[in-house]
Chain A
Amino acid sequence: MRMRTARTAGVLVLLTAVVMCAASAQVSLQEFERALYSIPASNPEFLLSTIELGMTQEDFPAEQLLGLIERLAEHPGEPFEKDAVLNVLAHALEVGLPIEGLVNKAFEGLARRIPLHQLESWLSQRMVLLAETRDLLYSKGIFSAPSRAPQTVPTAIPMPRFNLLLIHMSEAIGDFLEGGGSPFDGHVLYQEVYNRLTMLQGVTLVPDDVQLVLERIEPSDLTQVALAAVS
């Protein structure tokens, strides 16, 4: 019985994956509009405009975001609370931050039945971390550049690669703080970021990018980022 369930689930997962692959990149603004309507979102225009902005990002996780809005619609809770969760993502898109990590954490929060207002404040903190980490990279002369643009600065990393670095750095800091770490433990914090980046070096992160970051950041830089997130 269990075997059959497992097999059926496996086939379903495969089918879903195939369908999603076929449909990827074809998620339209209308689909987002419909999904937002089903919540119902109180400010769909604002959300749609930021989603449209996000769609210009090369690594915009369109299907995941659509899936999240649909799951939020089914989730128990007040529409205004769901709005608040989506607003965090909208603000991130507004300032050009990658939302993949936030979307994933939102899925996890919903699955864990975290109260929506807590989920919102949790995501806000993670968004601040993303923004602060990006500022840190910028201040160290590490920039992102559209993939196809000619590379003018040697430390300009193509956007998707830059975003992945950014997500992993800020998540390592966030996980450290959530595990009870103190922002003032700069060296431990640095070690966490170092571990995360080197574990993924050559896997999803480009070794040169990792080395560039590790050469330029210092423990005290990370303390500043962490403090901004907890204050």
Chain B
Amino acid sequence: MKHDDLDVLLQDTLRAEVAAASDRIIDLEERVVMELGDRRPRLRWFQWLGQLAAPTRATRWGQIAVVGATAAVFLFLGLTLSDRIAPNTPAPQLSLQRLGTADGMQSVLFVWPAPLEAESVAVVGNFNAWEGTDLSDPDGDGIWTAQIPLAPGRYEYAFVVDGKWQGHDPRADEVIQSFGQYSSVRYIGRGGDDA
């Protein structure tokens, strides 16, 4: 096969794949707009200031300076705070941990790696009546965690990252569809297979 033929075949294949799945995005714009509701693009105060001062390329230098300064402040805060927090918080492990407690409850670790700019991550599920339990990310590495005591059983849950539901936990035992969206499932208390 000549390379040129392959180019055409590849292009046709990729286009056909999209055409065959186009029903998936038929109302994407409506869904996006509905989800956005009253939200507005996040304000970036330095951008506002920059634009007011000089609405040209010069803004970029201003932005770089402010970003740099902000980063320095955060770095300083991060270092200072991490010193204070560290002694009380053992580093969470990236696996489903089981710490036996009395009456069969287990402390179950929920982990969600979020983009660095994420502001809040929570886990909702049938163990908290689908009201969020906050995850935390003390070291700011984007790995958010929470440990929740759970009795043996089957639990459905999802993560909520800055208001957006994420039902596909790579650490789940199963992923199901619920109300047309994904939910993750974990079985707690089976002989060691969830550890």
Contact = CB atoms under 8 A, between A and B. Distances in A.
A–B: direct contact at CB < 8 Å? yes
Interface of A: 2-3, 5-6, 9, 13, 64, 67, 71, 104-105, 107-112, 114, 118, 122, 168, 175, 178-180, 196, 199-200, 202-204
A-B complex: 5 closest residue pairs judged by Cβ atoms: A111-B130, A6-B136, A107-B130, A2-B136, A179-B177
A174 B86 CA distance: 46
Contacts of B181: 112
Interface of B: 85, 89, 124, 126, 128-131, 133-138, 146, 152-154, 156, 165, 173, 176-181, 183, 187-191
B135 to A, nearest CB: 7
A203 B177 contact: no
Contacts of A13: 128, 133
Contacts of B126: 104, 107-108
Contacts of B190: 199, 202-203
B186 to A, nearest CB: 10
Given A2-B136, A67-B129, A107-B130, A200 B154 contact: yes
B136 to A, nearest CB: 4
A44 B79 CA distance: 58
Nearest to B175: A179
B154 A6 contact: no
A203 B85 CA distance: 37
Given A64-B129, A107-B129, A114 B179 contact: yes
Contacts of A104: 126, 129
B113 to A, nearest CB: 15
